[in-house]
Each structure stands twice: as structure tokens, then as C-alpha cells.
Amino acid sequence: MINRIGIRREDKNSWEKRVALVPSCIERLVKKHGLEIYVQTSSNRIFSEKDFSRKGAVIEEDLFDCKIIIAIKEIPKELIKKNRIYMFFSHTTKGQKQNMPMLKMLKERQCTLIDYEKITDKKGRRLVFFGTQAGQAGMIEVLSALGKKLAIKGFKKNPFASIMQPYQYESLAAAKKEMLRVSRDIEKNGLENDLTPLIAGFAGYGHTSLGAQEIFDLLPCEEIKPGELDEFIQRRKYSSHKVYKIVFKEEHMVETREKNSVFDLQDYYNYPEKYRSKFELYLPYLTLLMNCIYWESKYPRFVPNKALKKMFENTKHPKLQVIGDISCDFKGSIECNRYATTPDNPVFTYDPIQDKIKDGFFGNGVAVMSIDNLPAEIPLESSVNFSRVLELFMPKIAKADFSKDFGKCKLPSEIKKAVILFRGEFTPDYKYMGKFIT
């Protein structure tokens, strides 16, 4: 049994205050399972070192004696130690260039890499994730950005002006309380005609989308089905005292290239080249777009730059104000997303006509929020929810025999799916990644 586990400090950026295991979970792992938990010193976590030590953790700067080392974000390659078992979000499975030196070092130093993103159940559903919190924080960011943009445009009725960024609230509960105040304002005073109907589109229907919808639903919200949008607009069946949302699934966002073919989800997954985006049909009606969908380069772009350009050329005052690209794939499903923003500089403006971007709000372009570590803006709730799930797996991981072959190490099946490297060798499901570091 490997009973000594180290929790390293998060040092990727100053905004990162999350921790993979919170003190209350550590206490149970220590008392019930006999694990030794070493917590690396840090002045930036949402929990203090005293919080950890009171619950049985050992505060230690050097994690040299820990065989298993867990974190949230990527680990600098120069800090990787030989023959260790690492658990964190590696962001390597798509061949992300910025993380290939780290992956190569993990391989050369014969490490085992377990990636949280790949911990799934029998149906392939992720089990250890921050998606819900990313959606919650992302929606608050987008509504805050909307308030700022409307203020710059001179809107007199602007109930969103008071919404702060998520990290500026003492808790998620405090942010939700503010949303309810905004809701009462909209119900009482309404929105300006130029903003009515305010429609938020949610691309995707997983945990991230549900988290974003949870926040938006605190407003006086009514849902429209994608197929009902034309009738909704033509019959003017909307109110300035409400906001509206549309949830888009794959079938609404793409169509087959062949005229007489119909959409089939599994066929789309297997042969995405047979499909093309039709999302530009909805874009002109949206005020906000929340991109919460998983995307790879083999899939069509849902919002290509040419679609935005066409919309801005054909409309003097386009409705689309803010895109929240929570998925944050650069030049991906939202093609105009070229870099990650940060909480202290949360948006850039994309001018579709000039095909140019500029930090902050300017002109008549669309504001793009592309913060890539949104859960870090609500670190308490993010850490607690993540830790509660990870705690369940830690005793089983500690009991595994990493000295045996991969097939016989007795890792639980959910974790085994997430092992990218095992003692420095790519496991069968991840052999393809070898080409990324050659």
C-alpha cells in the first residue's frame, strides 16, 4: 500500500486557489483509511495551512517522500521527480503543444500519469470534474461583461450593471443572491426595447452547460426550443420583463452535407466530415452565447469568423453582445477565440469586419470571454465538490500495486481508463500520443 500522498501547491497563475483534497476529506482519509497526507506549503489556497493541519495533514515544503503527488493544474517539467505517480489535469491528449515538454519529461522519468479528465464510468461519463463550476462562474462573468458593455453603449435600463465578476463575491451564494436582485429588477422595470428579447444560447447540454443555466435560470427566464425560435420572433411572443434561453444539441447545430440525408448522432461522431455547421441560422437572434460543448478539430466550427462577418455586414446593430467561450479551444468551435483571458482582463472584443481583436470593450464588435480557469474564481465551492468525488478513489489508488504490469496493478476500472503513462510507457488507449513527443 502506498499510503503517503502529497498535495502540491498550485503555481500556474496567481488566480489558482483551488485544492484537489479539502481538509474535511483529508481527515476521513487519514482516520478511516490510514493514509498519510502531506500538503505542500502555499500562501494562495482557499484553505489555510492550519485548516489542513487540524484535520491530520502534515504541512511540508518538500514532497520528496511522497510516491503519489496530486494537483489541479499542470506541473512545471523541471519539478517532475522520477518514478512518481502524478494526478492532475494534464491537457495533453489532444497534443497540446504547450504541455508536450512536460509529457516528455514524465515519460523520460518513468512516471505514471493519471488524468482526471479521463476518469469515467462505464458509459464514458466523466466522474471527476469542474464543469459545473466552470459553467457557474462563466455565466456570472458573461452577465458582468454584458452589464459593462451596455453601460458603454449608454443603455439607461441596465439591471446587469451591478453584477461583479465571480471572484469579487465572497461566495457563490452571494453571487446568486445578486442574481435574484437583478431578477426582481427585470421583472419590475423591464429591459429596453433594443435589448428585447434578450436570448441566451447554450451550446451543449452537459455539466458545464447545466452550471451556466443554473445561474441564468435565477433571472425571470423562459426556455425556447430551437425549432420554435422563428415563430417566437415573428409573432413577437416575448416580454421586456423576461429573459429567454435556448439549449442547442448537436442536431440543432449541424446538418448533413447531402441533401436527402438526416442527422444521426452516432454517424456525426463517427464521420463528422459528412456534416457542416448551420448555427449561423440562430446567431442573429442571440444576445449572449455560452459555448459549453466539447470540440475537436475533426468537427465543424459552430461559429466561424465568416458567419460573424456576414451577420455584422447585414445588420447595423447586431444583437449578439457577448460570447462566453467556456470550452476555450483556440480557433476552435468559436473561431475568433485566439487566446485565454484572465479575471483581471476578462474579455477581448472581436471586430468581424476587420478581423481584428483588442483587449477590453470597444466599437461594435462582440465581446469574447475566454477565461480558461473559471472554476478558480469560485475556489471554495470548486474545491469542495471536486474533493468529495476524488476522495472516493484515493484509498483504492493507494492500495494498487504499481510494481506489477499495468494489467495486473489492481487499479479500479474508472481510474485505469485515465492512466496515460504507466511507469513511463503509454498505456494501450494512449499509444497514439507517442507521436506528439517524437
CATH number assigned to the domain comprising residue 427:
3.40.50.720
Q: How confident is the model at residue 315 (pLDDT cuts 50, 70, 90)?
A: confident
Give the bridge partners for 203, in sequence order.
248, 291
Dump pLDDT digits (tens) for 149-196: 999 999 999 999 999 999 999 999 999 999 999 999 999 999 999 999
Is 425 within the bounds of a domain? Answer: yes
> Which residues span the domain enclosing 313?
131-377
pLDDT over 80 at 433, yes or no: yes
The arithmetic mean of pLDDT across residues 353-377, rounded, is 94
Higher pLDDT among residues 13 and 52, named by residue: 52
Residue 341, SS3 per DSSP = strand
How many folded domains does the chain comprise? 2
Question: Which residue's C-alpha cell is 494512449?
Answer: 430
Residues 340 and 396 reside in one and the same domain: no
Residues 312 and 169 reside in one and the same domain: yes
Whole-number mean pLDDT of the chain? Answer: 95
Domain closes at, from 359, 377, 395: 377
Residues 215 and 337 reside in one and the same domain: yes
Residues 147 and 64 reside in one and the same domain: no
Residues 164 and 267 reside in one and the same domain: yes
Residues 147 and 99 reside in one and the same domain: no
Is 197 within the bounds of a domain? Answer: yes
Dump pLDDT digits (tens) for 229-275: 999 999 998 999 999 999 999 999 999 999 889 999 999 999 999 99
Residues 210 and 342 reside in one and the same domain: yes
Give the pLDDT of residue 15.
92
42 in Cβ contact with 48 (< 8 Å) = no
SS3 per-residue string spanning 150-212: HHHHCCCCCHHHHCCCHHHCCCHHHHHHHHHHHHHHHHHHCCCHHHCCCEEEEECCCHHHHHH
Higher pLDDT among residues 106 and 295, named by residue: 106
The rounded distance, in Å, linking the Cα atoms of 196 and 353 is 25
Q: What angle do CA 100, 20, 80 make, to 5 degrees?
A: 35
Residues 217 and 317 reside in one and the same domain: yes
Is 126 within the bounds of a domain? Answer: no
Is 125 within the bounds of a domain? Answer: no
Domain closes at, from 377, 392, 414: 377
Dump pLDDT digits (tens) for 397-409: 999 999 999 999 9
Give the pLDDT of residue 17.
95
pLDDT over 80 at 108, yes or no: yes
Is 228 within the bounds of a domain? Answer: yes
Give the pLDDT of residue 178.
98
Dump pLDDT digits (tens) for 39-75: 999 999 999 999 999 999 999 999 999 999 999 999 9
359: Cβ contacts below 8 Å, ≥ 6 apart = 345, 347, 348, 349
Of the candidate ranges 82-91, 158-167, 310-319, the one whose mean pLDDT is the lowest: 310-319
Give the pLDDT of residue 323.
98
pLDDT over 70 at 366, yes or no: yes
Residues 99 and 215 reside in one and the same domain: no
27 in Cβ contact with 62 (< 8 Å) = no
Give the pLDDT of residue 159.
97
Residues 73 and 218 reside in one and the same domain: no
Question: Phi-psi region for residue 267, left (φ > 0), alpha (ψ -120 to 50) or beta?
Answer: alpha
Residues 141 and 111 reside in one and the same domain: no
Domain closes at, from 377, 395, 415: 377
pLDDT over 70 at 119, yes or no: yes
The arithmetic mean of pLDDT across residues 371-389, rounded, is 96
Is 14 within the bounds of a domain? Answer: yes
pLDDT over 80 at 2, yes or no: no
pLDDT over 70 at 1, yes or no: no
Residues 37 and 138 reside in one and the same domain: no
Give the pLDDT of residue 316.
83
Dump pLDDT digits (tens) for 188-242: 999 999 999 999 999 999 999 999 999 999 999 999 999 999 999 999 989 999 9
Give the pLDDT of residue 66.
95
